[in-house]
């Protein structure tokens, strides 16, 4: 480390100590902002993965009438497989025996006293995209409510899926707004810290310019102050996220889903995002303040 850089660091450290209360306030605000940002990234990426998983499991179920012939079932299956909204190999025939066996496996209490099989033969039809489920349903059930030959009922999960995805959207919006407000508060507090440092050292800055100090040498300590606040707040946020991850996550995840396809970004990547945002907030807060208040 060169002597000039050591001097810049020592000047920045001295200025931070001279404005300790605002420095602590700015760092704590960055800490809260980065902590919420980490939660938002983890939760948001998990919700995105979960919604993709939910969409991949959305099905349109076509239930046949008891008197439907094998020809009716085969013809409809071939027709649906050529439907533009159906995924490749997305049509699966489920016999009434298979449906009852699946019901016994998933809900044994419901079928414990059943004397005969009341379930019909059916087709499980998977849309090409989760968002296409309404279009797929509309391509099977005509506008006048008429159904294909041999079909008793067509059922989809659009109401349930729409409700789930709407809730996920509201949660995402809430976290985005909360993180955005705290990021703005962080920038403003860091800016205020740098502004106080500039005002308290204005005579010293004038003397430095008179003896030939470069603009970078004058500006350097103030930029380092903002970067220091941002990085310390980010590191503290990562520390508390590590504690929360170890203490809370094991109790929450099993209650949500055990599906391996549903996951958030890895913690190292989330930590990198937090550090980059902390660095950016500190540098941006310092930059806009120096541009406005530091004339060198």
CATH code where residue 93 lies: 3.30.70.3040
Over 80: is that where the pLDDT of 291 sits?
Answer: no
Q: Alpha helices of the chain — where are they, by DSSP H?
A: 3-18, 20-57, 70-81, 96-106, 133-140, 158-200, 202-210, 215-247, 249-256, 267-293
pLDDT at 248: 77
Same domain, 49 and 68: no
Number of structural domains, the chain? 2
Lowest mean pLDDT among 146-155, 203-212, 257-266: 203-212
Q: CA-to-CA distance for 127 and 217, rounded, in angstroms?
A: 62
Range of the domain at 132: 59-156
Cα distance from N-terminal residue to C-terminal residue, the chain: 26
Mean pLDDT across 56-80? 89
pLDDT band at 208 (very low <50, low <70, confident <90, very high): low
pLDDT at 295: 62
Coil vs helix vs strand at 265: coil
* More confident call, 191 vs 160: 191
How do residues 95-145 score in pLDDT, each as one tens digit? Answer: 999 988 888 888 788 777 777 888 899 999 988 887 788 888 888 988 788
Same domain, 146 and 201: no
Backbone angles phi, psi at 154, to 5 degrees: -125, 130
Q: Check residue 151 and give left, alpha or beta (phi > 0: left; psi -120 to 50: alpha).
A: beta
pLDDT band at 277 (very low <50, low <70, confident <90, very high): confident
pLDDT at 189: 73
- Domain closes at, from 90, 123, 156: 156
Same domain, 194 and 271: yes
Dig out the tokens for 152 from the structure. Answer: 């008793």
Over 80: is that where the pLDDT of 165 sits?
Answer: no
Find residue 156's DSSP bridge partners: 60
Q: Are 19 and 237 in contact (CB under 8 A)?
A: no
Mean pLDDT of the chain: 79
Over 70: is that where the pLDDT of 289 sits?
Answer: yes
Same domain, 182 and 121: no
pLDDT at 7: 58
Most confident of 155-164, 196-205, 257-266, 279-288: 279-288
- Domain closes at, from 156, 191, 212: 156
pLDDT band at 200 (very low <50, low <70, confident <90, very high): low
pLDDT at 2: 62
pLDDT at 79: 93
pLDDT band at 188 (very low <50, low <70, confident <90, very high): confident
pLDDT band at 8 (very low <50, low <70, confident <90, very high): low
Same domain, 49 and 65: no
Mean pLDDT across 57-75? 89
Same domain, 112 and 178: no
Lowest mean pLDDT among 95-104, 186-195, 236-245, 250-259: 250-259
Same domain, 43 and 96: no
pLDDT at 111: 75
Classify residue 144 by its DSSP letter.
T
Same domain, 243 and 176: yes
* More confident call, 153 vs 197: 153
pLDDT at 164: 66
- Domain closes at, from 126, 156, 186: 156
Same domain, 39 and 171: yes
pLDDT at 124: 92
152's enclosing H/E stretch is strand 151-156
């Amino acid at each position: 480390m060169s002597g000039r850089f050591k001097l810049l660091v020592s000047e920045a450290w001295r200025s931070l100590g001279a404005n300790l209360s605002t420095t602590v306030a700015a760092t704590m605000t960055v800490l809260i902002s980065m902590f919420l940002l980490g939660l938002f990234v983890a939760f948001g990426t998990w919700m995105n993965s979960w919604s993709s998983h939910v969409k991949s499991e959305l099905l349109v179920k076509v239930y046949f009438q008891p008197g439907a012939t094998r020809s009716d079932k085969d013809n409809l299956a071939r027709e649906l497989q050529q439907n533009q909204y159906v995924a490749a190999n997305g049509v699966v025939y489920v016999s009434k025996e298979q449906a009852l066996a699946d019901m016994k496996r998933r809900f044994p209490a419901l079928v414990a006293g059943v004397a005969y099989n009341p379930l019909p033969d059916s087709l499980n039809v998977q849309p090409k995209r989760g968002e296409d489920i309404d279009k797929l349903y509309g391509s099977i059930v005509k506008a006048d409510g008429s159904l294909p030959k041999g079909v008793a009922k067509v059922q989809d999960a659009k109401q349930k899926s729409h409700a789930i995805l709407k809730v996920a959207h509201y949660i995402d919006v809430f976290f985005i707004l909360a993180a955005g407000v705290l990021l703005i508060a962080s920038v403003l507090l860091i800016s205020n810290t740098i502004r106080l440092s500039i005002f308290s050292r204005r005579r010293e800055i004038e003397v430095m310019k008179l003896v030939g100090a470069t603009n970078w040498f004058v500006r350097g300590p103030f930029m380092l102050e903002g970067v220091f606040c941002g990085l310390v707040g980010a590191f503290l946020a990562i520390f508390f996220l590590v504690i929360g991850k170890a203490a809370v996550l094991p109790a929450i995840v099993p209650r949500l889903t055990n599906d391996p396809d549903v996951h958030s970004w890895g913690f190292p990547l989330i930590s990198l995002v937090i550090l980059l945002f902390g660095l950016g907030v500190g540098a941006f807060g310092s930059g806009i303040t120096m541009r406005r208040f530091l004339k060198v």
